[in-house]
Structure 1
Amino acid sequence: MESEELTLWIQASAIVVAVVASIVALFISWRDRVNARLIASEDRRAALQQAKLMFDLEALLRLLENQNRGGSTDDLERAQLGAETMALVGLIGEDRLPILWKRRIGYDDAGLRAKLTTAESETPTHMKHTIETQLALNEVVREIYAAVNRK
């Protein structure tokens, strides 16, 4: 072999090694990006779950304060406390507050939708507005749970 031929083989080998190293680097980079996406996804899910728990904690604390007041002799304040209690129970949900839910809300989504179609004498308009709001609230809570449980 001549010196030129040896030089050509060395250069060709160097090119092959460089191409293989580039392919290996691309593969490692791709796997690193996939791993980073998985970690970021899990971090987002965990952050959303923590935010949901903190929100539930604040709502439960507010509900507990409301419940511990023991009522009021003022009709307006009693109505406000009752409305706030019902809203908080509706927000927190049947899973965490089954007894209060049954007492304050008492219907699943299908039952609430059925009340929306009843006559005005049976379910007044202001109650239908409340029911519609509760249904929207239930949907948002379901979306939050779906986002928390998404992998």
Structure 2
Amino acid sequence: MTPYDEANAAFADNLYFWHKSFGVLFFIIVLVRIFVRRRSKLPPLPDGISQPERIVVNLAHKLFYILMVAIPLLGYVQSSSYEYSDGVHFFFFDLPELLPKNQAVYEIANTLHKWLSFVLIGLITLHILGALRHRLFDRKNDVLKRIL
């Protein structure tokens, strides 16, 4: 999100409402995804994928899930601990704020929420580029078939 601008208070409040609501929705979807993934058999990586690439892929997937859980939780901590927060919303429901108002906790959660989001965007970008590399230049190791 962006710093709060008094001139656009109504618009900013609306953005925060939707950001928080979709953040909670994303968190629920991620939890369902983790539940399904743990009960599913994953297709194997192509045989031509080298051992170092396998390690990178496995680490990337673990990092994806860590970030997809941590970022929404940090958003919740941020909203709960911010002195002027209007609460944590899930569309038309208000979630309980389980943490006391604390500026130091807010600042740490705010910083981590923001920077880990950038890390996730970078990881997604690298992951897409890696899949495209295999699709376009290394057809025998086409991992796109595994994804789809």
Q: Same fold (TM over 0.5)?
A: no
Normalization by structure 2: what TM-score? 0.31
Whose helix fraction is larger, Structure 1's or Structure 2's? 1
Whose strand fraction is larger, Structure 1's or Structure 2's? 2
